[in-house]
């Protein structure tokens, strides 16, 4: 049975309340990086009724990473921005997507202009630092730090560092020499980042 936007909104309102759904629909959230963290964050936010996502990544979907990302196998080789737009449209076709096929640098972070929240989902420590140093005071930044390896999911926690910085992860784990990544640990961290964003939007934070 076809689902209308009114059906979608009404169903969310039954669970969250009309005021929360209104706030979510008016929200504009940035996602920096569309791999294991970013792709899952985007789907969680879209399912929750977020009105607009600004997504940025320069890469393509790759088979070696797909086990921890939201993309189906038919997306291998596609630009992540295009693949994610397609997946979001399947769960919430009324969520507006602004795509940027770019490698983020200090010179192009204005793509997140107007975003009250940006979820950091970049691969490398130097890129995370760059984003925090150049964007942290302009918006609420929700970062992922430590979700690799095979450790317990309970080690992944949410910490508010200040009024404009929240960090999710275990704070220590790295890919390591064996390159191990449990998709479940990545998904837990993505869910915590999305949860932090949602709590801010609806006024629970």
pLDDT digits (tens, 9 = 90+) for 84-111: 999 999 999 999 999 999 999 999 999 9
Instruction: Give 1's pLDDT tier (boundaries 50, 70, 90).
Output: confident
Is 21 part of a structural domain of the chain?
Answer: yes
**Dist CA 192 CA 159 (whole Å):** 10
When divided into structural domains, the chain yields a total of 1
Domain that holds residue 152: 17-202
pLDDT tens, position by position, 40-51? 999 999 999 999
Write out pLDDT tens, residues 108-137: 999 999 999 999 999 888 999 999 999 877
Residue 22 within a domain: yes
Average pLDDT over residues 161-185: 81
Confidence of residue 163 (pLDDT cuts 50, 70, 90): confident
With CA atoms as reference, report the closest residue to 187 among 58, 33, 60, 36. Answer: 36
How many angstroms separate the CA atoms of 97 and 94, rounded?
A: 9
The owner of tokens 């983020």 is 104
CATH number at residue 32: 3.40.50.720
49 in any annotated domain: yes
Instruction: Examine residue 163 and state whether it is found in any structural domain, yes or no.
Output: yes
Q: What share of the chain has pLDDT > 90, as a percent?
A: 84
């Amino acid at each position: 049975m076809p689902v209308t936007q009114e059906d979608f909104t009404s169903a969310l309102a039954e669970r969250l309340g009309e005021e929360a759904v209104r706030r979510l629909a008016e929200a504009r959230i940035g996602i920096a990086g569309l791999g294991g963290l970013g792709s899952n964050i985007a789907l969680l936010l879209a399912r929750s009724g977020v009105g607009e996502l600004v997504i940025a990544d320069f890469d393509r979907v790759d088979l070696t990473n797909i086990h921890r990302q939201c993309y189906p196998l038919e997306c291998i080789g596609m630009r992540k921005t295009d693949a994610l737009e397609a997946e979001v449209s399947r769960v919430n076709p009324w969520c507006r997507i602004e795509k940027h096929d770019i490698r983020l640098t200090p010179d192009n972070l204005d793509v997140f202009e107007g975003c009250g929240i940006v979820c950091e989902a970049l691969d490398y420590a130097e890129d995370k630092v760059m984003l925090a140093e150049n964007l942290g005071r302009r918006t609420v930044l929700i970062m992922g730090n430590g979700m690799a390896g095979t450790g317990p999911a309970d080690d992944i926690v949410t910490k508010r560092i200040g009024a404009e910085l929240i960090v999710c992860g275990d704070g220590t784990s790295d890919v390591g020499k064996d390159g191990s990544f449990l998709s479940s640990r990545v998904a837990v961290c993505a869910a915590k980042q999305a949860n932090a964003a949602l709590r801010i939007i609806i006024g629970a934070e």
